[in-house]
């Protein structure tokens, strides 16, 4: 150290660092970075206590503190990583190069909050000198531990400058941001079939009575709604074309729990049929329908089930990022990073809603079993499958999948899936022999799961809805 009164400590737990002192350092960072919550002591502690970032999941934390006397003047969290997941910056080529030369790439050192690709401060420091001393301590510690590399991700300008001064290599990349500034959906309500209660939807946007323009119907994905980014993007594109747009909410997804002893599921083609026929009865123009993720599978399941009768209701349909083979997608979302992040994200809303349903209908399932749910497969086995007439999860996945029914589709249909969708294995996607001549398969290599960013920074997500709407326009 440059001065003898500086002391560096390497601690194993956030509980060994005073939370107020840590957060006070965070508050000193530049005004642009300071509002970020992802370096707060509470957030990092929650990542550990929730089991999200622990040695068992490949994240072993070390908390570095730099003190001068009794004052904490700099601090950061460093993770010893046993893999490269949850970082959103891919270094697999480096790891492979190490492996090919007989070298160990893991564990490596990472300075960044887990699963959080949000730019912000990573080195919390009172001043530039403290930040520089902290970087020097990190480099020296990694060298002593004989680690392959030290990575600092999505850092602030001050952090980047300190790392460059310390001789670290700077890697540039592009991060896409998109914004929704003008939602075009308004709220409306109607009633469900007799066994249900209360279906709300977003839109259609107000239109003159008797209008003949097309109505774009958007069925949302798992736990989605009219507020989902893709719903807003489709509504925006529809409005630009002079079309009306409607986003029906599946039961329980409008913000209000339905009353009946059921919810919604991936193969709910009867619900799709009822909604579309009701919309058709209230609209004078043609209907075109897109389903996103879960909604797309249910839509394709409907089109295959109804066959030539679909043309009496709609002009064309499309599915986007839809798990048309539910067993394969269930396998994918139950593994590795998907299980740790996305499964937990979905279950955070699915489990409480299921417990509310149990309060409505005591005895529907075992409460203790639901509290123990840690993955979607188990949730479906306890809740989704038995509530909707399936024997178990495997029976549900087999009977509800849209792919086996796509040879019977008799209306113009587009099935859009990307090869790099983390939820849908590429080998499970339908191929030409699996579908009827009415179905167009579009399987680009990039786009992720309902992502498809396009344009210059900060980018936008209207390219995919625009392409789907153009497909529909060709069939009006």
Q: Is 127 a catalytic residue?
A: no
Neighbour-count burial of 50, counting CB atoms closer than 10 A to its CB (0-12 exposed, 13-18 middle, 19+ buried): exposed
Q: Which of 343, 375, 421, 428 is catalytic?
A: 421
Query: What dihedral angle (degrees, nearest 10) is formed by the CA atoms of 321, 324, 327, 329?
Result: -10
Q: Which of 84, 293, 321, 322 is catalytic?
A: 293
Q: How far is CA 42 from CA 199, 212, 381, in A?
A: 38, 54, 34
Q: Which of 41, 151, 283, 449 is catalytic?
A: 449
- Cβ atoms within 10 Å of 258's Cβ, excluding its own: 23
Q: Is 460 a catalytic residue?
A: no
Cβ-contact 26, 125 below 8 angstroms: no
Q: Is 449 a catalytic residue?
A: yes
| Neighbouring residues of 359: CB distance < 8 A, sequence distance ≥ 6 | none
Phi-psi group of 125: left, alpha or beta (phi > 0 → left; psi -120 to 50 → alpha; rest → beta): beta
Cβ-contact 269, 257 below 8 angstroms: no
Neighbour-count burial of 204, counting CB atoms closer than 10 A to its CB (0-12 exposed, 13-18 middle, 19+ buried): buried
Helix 393-400 vs helix 326-333: crossing angle, to nearest 10: 130
Cβ-contact 319, 221 below 8 angstroms: no
Q: State the Cα–Cα distance between residues 275 and 407, nearest whole angstrom.
A: 23
By annotation, the residues acting in catalysis are 293, 421, 449
């Amino acid at each position: 150290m440059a001065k003898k009164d500086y002391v560096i400590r390497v601690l194993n737990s956030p509980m060994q660092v005073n939370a107020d002192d840590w957060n006070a350092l965070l508050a000193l960072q530049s005004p642009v970075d300071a509002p970020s919550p992802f370096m707060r002591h509470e957030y990092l502690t929650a990542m550990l206590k929730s089991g999200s970032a622990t040695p068992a999941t490949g994240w072993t934390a070390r908390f570095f503190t730099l003190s001068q006397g009794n004052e904490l003047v700099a601090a950061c969290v460093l993770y010893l990583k046993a893999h490269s997941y949850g970082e959103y910056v891919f270094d697999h080529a480096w790891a492979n190069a190490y492996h090919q030369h007989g070298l160990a790439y893991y564990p490596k050192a990472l300075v960044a909050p887990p699963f959080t690709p949000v730019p912000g401060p990573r080195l919390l420091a009172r001043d530039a000198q403290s930040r520089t001393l902290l970087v020097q301590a990190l480099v020296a510690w990694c060298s002593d531990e004989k680690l392959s590399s030290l990575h600092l991700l999505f850092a602030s300008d001050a952090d980047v400058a300190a790392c460059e001064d310390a001789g670290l290599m700077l890697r540039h990349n592009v991060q896409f941001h998109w914004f929704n500034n003008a939602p075009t959906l308004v709220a409306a309500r109607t009633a469900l079939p007799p066994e249900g209660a209360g279906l709300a939807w977003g839109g259609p946007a107000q239109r003159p009575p008797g209008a003949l323009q097309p109505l774009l119907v958007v069925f949302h994905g798992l736990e989605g709604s009219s507020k989902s980014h893709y719903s807003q993007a489709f509504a925006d594109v529809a409005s630009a074309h002079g079309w009306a747009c409607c986003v029906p909410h599946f039961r329980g997804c409008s913000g209000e729990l339905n009353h009946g002893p059921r919810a919604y599921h991936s193969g709910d083609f009867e619900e799709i049929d009822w909604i579309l026929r009701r919309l058709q009865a209230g609209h004078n123009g043609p209907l075109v329908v897109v389903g996103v993720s879960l909604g797309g599978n249910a839509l394709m399941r409907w089109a295959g089930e109804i066959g030539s009768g679909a043309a009496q209701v709609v002009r064309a349909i499309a599915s986007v990022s839809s798990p048309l083979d539910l067993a394969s997608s269930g396998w994918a979302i139950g593994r590795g990073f998907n299980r740790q992040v996305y499964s937990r994200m979905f279950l955070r809303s699915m489990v409480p809603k299921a417990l509310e349903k149990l309060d409505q209908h005591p005895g529907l399932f075992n409460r203790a079993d639901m509290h123990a749910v840690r993955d979607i497969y188990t949730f479906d086995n306890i809740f989704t499958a038995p509530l909707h007439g399936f024997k178990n999860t495997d029976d549900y996945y087999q009977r509800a999948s849209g792919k086996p029914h796509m040879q019977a589709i008799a209306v113009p249909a587009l099935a859009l899936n990307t090869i790099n969708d983390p939820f849908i294995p590429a080998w499970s996607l339908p191929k030409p022999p699996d579908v009827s001549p009415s179905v167009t398969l579009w399987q680009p290599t990039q786009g992720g799961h309902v992502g498809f960013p396009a344009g210059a920074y900060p980018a936008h997500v209207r390219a995919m809805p625009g392409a789907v709407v153009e497909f529909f326009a060709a069939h009006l």
